[in-house]
Amino acid sequence: MVMMGEMWGQLGSVIASVMFVSAMFQNYFPYELSRGIEKYCHKFLSLFYPYIKITFDEYPSDGYERCKAFAAIERYLAANSSATAKRLKANLVKNSKSLVLSMDDYEEISEKYEGAKLWWTSKKFHPTSQSISFYPREDEKRYYTLTFHKKHRDVITKAYLRHVLDEGKAIAVRGRQRKLFTNNNSESWYGYRKNMWSHVVFDHPATFETWALDPKKKQDIISDLLTFSKAKDYYAKVGKAWKRGYLLYGPPGTGKSTMVAAMANLLEYDVYDLELTAVKDNAELRKLLIGTMSKSIIVIEDIDCSLDLTGQRKSKNEKDEKKEVNDAEDVKKAKEASESKTSQVTLSGLLNFIDGIWSACGGERIIVFTTNHVEKLDPALIRRGRMDKHIELSYCCFEAFKVLARNYLDLESHPLFATISKLLDETNMTPADVAENLMPKSAEEGSETCLENLIKALEAAKEEARMKAVEEEKLLKAEKEDKLKA
Ligand SMILES: Nc1ncnc2c1ncn2[C@@H]1O[C@H](COP(=O)(O)OP(=O)(O)OP(=O)(O)O)[C@@H](O)[C@H]1O
Ligand SMILES: [Mg+2]
């Protein structure tokens, strides 16, 4: 029995070698001849040969998209072949920091899985078409073949292939470069859907460790995010699309955008920064949503300034109030919004985007709105279920300051901390301003000077607030006197 097995094994490898050589020589012999040899070998083999062969093409005959199974096998073999294959290809990936070795073309490796021996071979062929292409490798078709004894059919086709595909997918997730996308104007949406979004490598250094916030609040946010990312089965059980909405609100410079970056880094998600004013209408908005991938955060910044989403629901007085934007930051944002193209995205379009029937496509997605004025948003837009978690980011507290002091000055404690704690209780300063004051302005500035700078800035802010309050009181008093006189 063993002898028979060996004989078949030897015959198998002889014939496999003939096929391998024919594949090698197809670059030199006419294509018809080499394919002919292979065809007759196959016929001959099928009479006696107890081995099964499965082919995985890089591109399926009926599609343009690269086959996902091929890509997963490629990654699996790259990770598992470098110890056994004799000829390897080297590739630089991930910002050219790491070298990845993978099986070279026409190389063969063998592997054992639950007692079953199997062989992987990587091959390629060039179709005879003489067409001229601008893409140098476009006509090259690569494929992998998997060979194993027919007695292992079940274990290979059921368990082993599942294992290879899962492992290939996991390697992709571990090694992928995350991306930051922004939506293109619809005039450039020609051809394939890839033109809807442009991307750069997402490389933001913000993390929850460096993000300054009250530790209890921070821990609550982290566990909410981690619970969400592991809750696929739970969402399926309760019949909800696997997505979660976050509303981040608070004054400018309190860390809303920084928090989005920290969220993406924690969950290893991509970020889609959706510029609503560049979206023409609701249909475009839906297409953009379908064009996003899972494991991503879709963020709409300054939602109150993006569009007049509240128009139909608000009374005229409220609209007039809305126009009275006296905060310098608001004036800038409102101006930017009005300068951009007029968009016909409506509130109902946006509501559908968040939790309409299409929102379930893809799964594992977080939608984040940021705003400086939560009170201006339509309640329908931010009700629970749409924006599940409302997080207020406010002025810097002492706990948040300690995180910043650790980040910027490597300080855990200092005698000046007590003064700073008192001043932070008495006045409002954003984490952005605190961080700016803590940054050394020259190489000579030590941590004590930076803390003193912060104290000066806090005292100045306190004095400014006091003066403002006095002014307001004066105005009120004058108004009252005017009324009395009238
Ligand atoms: N909580 C924080 N922890 C650490 N750094 C912060 C924090 N808040 C702000 N910063 C720093 O201040 C800068 C501005 O913060 P960020 O852009 O996140 O504010 P924002 O709330 O999004 O402001 P806006 O409302 O104007 O968009 C960032 O570069 C960041 O380094
Ligand atoms: Mg921001």
What ipTM is given for this predicted complex? 0.97
Looking at the structure, tell me whether residues 224 and 298 fall in a common domain: yes
Looking at the structure, tell me whether residues 82 and 211 fall in a common domain: no
Going by alpha carbons, the residue nearest to atom 30 of ligand 1 is: 432
The answer to the question of residue 37 being in a domain is no
- Band (289; pLDDT cuts 50, 70, 90): confident
CA 10-14-18 angle, 5° bins: 165
Report how far ligand 2's centroid is from the alpha carbon of 260 (Å): 9
Average pLDDT, the chain: 80
Looking at the structure, tell me whether residues 143 and 75 fall in a common domain: yes
Which structural domain range is residue 410 located in?
398-485
The predicted pLDDT at position 314 comes to 41
DSSP state at residue 113: E
Q: What is the pLDDT of residues 350-365, one digit of tens each?
A: 888 888 777 777 678 9
The answer to the question of residue 356 being in a domain is yes
What mean pLDDT comes out for the span 423-444? 91
Domain boundary among 108, 143, 175: 175
Report yes or no on whether pTM surpasses 0.90: no
Q: Which ligand is nearest to the CA of 255?
A: 1
Kindly state the tokens that stand for 431: 């984490």
The answer to the question of residue 15 being in a domain is no
The answer to the question of residue 111 being in a domain is yes
Q: Which ligand is nearest to the CA of 259?
A: 1
Going by alpha carbons, the residue nearest to atom 5 of ligand 1 is: 211
Residue 82: C-alpha distances to residues 99, 175, 233, 320 (Å):
12, 17, 36, 68
Atom of ligand 1 nearest to the CA of 404: 4
Kindly state the tokens that stand for 79: 């990770």
Q: Which residues pair with 231 in a beta bridge?
A: none
The answer to the question of residue 14 being in a domain is no
- Band (139; pLDDT cuts 50, 70, 90): low
Looking at the structure, tell me whether residues 151 and 271 fall in a common domain: no
93 vs 146, residue with greater confidence:
146
Report how far ligand 1's centroid is from the alpha carbon of 429 (Å): 12
CA 293-296-302 angle, 5° bins: 120
Q: Which residues pair with 57 in a beta bridge?
A: 143
Looking at the structure, tell me whether residues 278 and 186 fall in a common domain: yes
In degrees rounded to 5, what are phi and psi of residue 141?
A: -105, 120
Looking at the structure, tell me whether residues 303 and 431 fall in a common domain: no
Looking at the structure, tell me whether residues 381 and 410 fall in a common domain: no
Going by alpha carbons, the residue nearest to atom 13 of ligand 1 is: 432
Looking at the structure, tell me whether residues 383 and 365 fall in a common domain: yes
Whether residue 137 is predicted with pLDDT greater than 70 in this model: the reply is no
What is the domain-level CATH number for residue 281? Answer: 3.40.50.300
Distance of alpha carbon 66 from alpha carbon 60, whole angstroms: 8
Report how far ligand 1's centroid is from the alpha carbon of 212 (Å): 9
What mean pLDDT comes out for the span 151-165? 92
21 vs 80, residue with greater confidence:
80
Looking at the structure, tell me whether residues 215 and 355 fall in a common domain: yes
Domain boundary among 392, 425, 453: 392
Pocket of ligand 1 (CB under 6 A): 211-213, 252-258, 372, 400, 431-432, 435
Residue 322: C-alpha distances to residues 305, 328, 340, 346 (Å):
10, 14, 19, 18
- Band (99; pLDDT cuts 50, 70, 90): low
Q: Identify which of 441, 429, 426 has the alpha carbon closest to the alpha carbon of residue 401.
A: 429
Looking at the structure, tell me whether residues 167 and 209 fall in a common domain: no
Looking at the structure, tell me whether residues 71 and 167 fall in a common domain: yes
| Distant-in-sequence, close-in-space partners of 225: CB < 8 Å, separation ≥ 6 | 263, 266, 267, 366
- Band (297; pLDDT cuts 50, 70, 90): very high
Give per-residue burial for 142-153: e unless 16+ CB within 10 Å, then b: bbbbbbbbeebe
The answer to the question of residue 192 being in a domain is yes
The predicted pLDDT at position 349 comes to 83
Distance of alpha carbon 112 from alpha carbon 119, whole angstroms: 9
Q: Which ligand is nearest to the CA of 407?
A: 1
DSSP state at residue 1: -
| Distant-in-sequence, close-in-space partners of 357: CB < 8 Å, separation ≥ 6 | none
Domain boundary among 340, 361, 392: 392
Instruction: From 258, 271, 397, 401, give the residue whose CB has the most ligand 1 atoms within 8 Å, as the site to mutate.
Output: 258
The answer to the question of residue 79 being in a domain is yes
Distance of alpha carbon 58 from alpha carbon 74, whole angstroms: 10
What mean pLDDT comes out for the span 412-434? 94
The answer to the question of residue 10 being in a domain is no
Looking at the structure, tell me whether residues 248 and 348 fall in a common domain: yes
Report how far ligand 1's centroid is from the alpha carbon of 460 (Å): 21
Number of independent structural domains in the chain: 3
